[in-house]
Structure 1
Amino acid sequence: MTKALIAALPALALAACSFGGKPPKQLLALTPPVVQPNTGVPIDPARSITVITPSAAAALAGQRVPVYEGPNAFAYVKDARWIEAPARQFQLLLAEALRAKGGRLVLDARQTTVDPGQRLGGSLIAFGVDATTGQAVVTFDAILTRGVEASASRRFEARVPVGAIDARNSAAAIDKAANQVASEVAAWVG
């Protein structure tokens, strides 16, 4: 074999692979509240909070947008894909909502060199469209801990009318519901 053919083999092998079909026209994302630039808070472990990625059901583990068609059945919105899994997006949304409220140092779980302070985690129960009511629904079971003991827990839920169940309308309604839940969680955490 010639050197040119040997060099081309990896590219030919890669060209023969399929990476999951045709990509969507666009990816969907949540829009967090705006945190003003050049703002900060003092690093005070008593006032810091770490936001942990919530656990989520298998239906929410991927990037597709679920449509709940009843208590035991769901489908997905056609041609709709999140930019990343809902639980990770919701974690970032919660962190930004807490930052926007101000007065607290908000940490990511990967920032282990700073005292984590309180920890906010929980379970993302619903993050999609309820076809039976025509509403986007976001349900989050929050758990606030300090040290090894839970200090408080609470369920938050928001429902927003969707209109047509398509990528654009579903994403906008879910975004609005998720921001409402994040705002309520930030007020609850204080």
Structure 2
Amino acid sequence: MTRMMFRSTLRPLLVAALPLALAGCISFGAKPPPYLLSLTPDAQLDAGATASGPAVGAITVLTPEIPQKLSTPRVPVRANATEIAYVEGAQWVDTPHRLFRRLLSETIAAKTGRLVLDEGQGVADPGTRLAGDLVDFDVDATAMQAVVTYDATLVIGDNVSKRRFQSRVPIAAVEPQGVGIALNTAANAVAGEVAAWIGGR
């Protein structure tokens, strides 16, 4: 075999082997966790439902503030008063405070019939404003409960009202599916209480 023939034969072999070599050392993104969790509102608007009215009568739902333990899509577990771990193999599709705001908005709209706006929709008069702190959205391993705690602040004109809402749902084990269902149940319970509080004002 001449040198020219050897080169022409070797080149396609090298090109074919290149993807195999790269496959062992290059990753195209992190491996997704076994369970991706989300929230589903119990009360939802019907398809095609509309709401309109003056901005002053609308409710603007702001994204809650959160502590550092919730600034991640992972699910915190309070092992004791000072230690926090995370549910292995589970992750939210978004951070908890954004998921909770969407669930809260949907629940309030469905249960009160009022026009609900998000903070990014920017109207001159945001009407009634609902802000707050999502204090807990995690698992209390000592009590074996999923816990959602929301400190709500309702601003109507110059009047400000605050109230704490909390729901605790028992879990059988600290595992992704059961924890996800329990937190969804607790979040809906809190959202329903918030909607009832707003609806009565």
What TM-score do you get using the length of structure 2 for normalisation? 0.82
Question: Do 1:157 and 1:181's aligned partners in 2 also have CA atoms closer than 8 Å?
Answer: yes
Single out whichever of 43-52 and 171-180 deviates more from structure 2: 43-52
Q: 1:104 aligns to what SS in structure 2?
A: coil
Does residue 180 (structure 1) correspond to residue 189 (structure 2)? The answer is yes
1:42 and 1:22 map into 2 onto residues whose CA distance is 44
Which structure 1 segments of 5+ residues have no match? 6-11
Indicate which of 137, 143, 153 corresponds to 1:143. Answer: 153
**1:159 is matched with which residue?**
168
Tell me the C-alpha RMSD between the 2 structures. 1.9
Deviation at 1:52, TM superposition (A): 0.5
Question: Do 1:143 and 1:150's aligned partners in 2 also have CA atoms closer than 8 Å?
Answer: no
2:90 and 2:169 map into 1 onto residues whose CA distance is 18
Larger Rg: 2
Indicate which of 81, 103, 109 corresponds to 1:71. Answer: 81
Deviation at 1:26, TM superposition (A): 3.2
Which structure 2 segments of 5+ residues have no match? 1-14, 16-21
Question: Do 1:122 and 1:142's aligned partners in 2 also have CA atoms closer than 8 Å?
Answer: yes
Task: Give runs of aligned pairs for residues 40-119 of structure 1, distance below 5 A.
Answer: 40-113=50-123, 115-119=125-129
2:166 and 2:80 map into 1 onto residues whose CA distance is 17
2:159 and 2:144 map into 1 onto residues whose CA distance is 35
CA displacement 1:59-100 (0-9 Å, x = unmatched) = 101100001112211100000000000000000011001111
CA displacement 1:23-70 (0-9 Å, x = unmatched) = 112310001122112222232223201101000011101100001112
1:84 and 1:150 map into 2 onto residues whose CA distance is 33
Deviation at 1:18, TM superposition (A): 6.7
2:28 and 2:46 map into 1 onto residues whose CA distance is 43
Question: Do 2:148 and 2:186's aligned partners in 1 also have CA atoms closer than 8 Å?
Answer: yes
The structure in which a higher percent of residues are helix is 2
Q: 1:71 to 1:165 in 2, by over 3 A?
A: same
State the 4+ residue runs in structure 1 displaced beyond 4 angstroms: none
Question: Do 2:55 and 2:123's aligned partners in 1 also have CA atoms closer than 8 Å?
Answer: no
1:174 and 1:137 map into 2 onto residues whose CA distance is 7
**1:23 is matched with which residue?**
32
What TM-score do you get using the length of structure 1 for normalisation? 0.86
Aligned residues: 176
Identity percentage of aligned residues: 45
2:63 and 2:44 map into 1 onto residues whose CA distance is 20
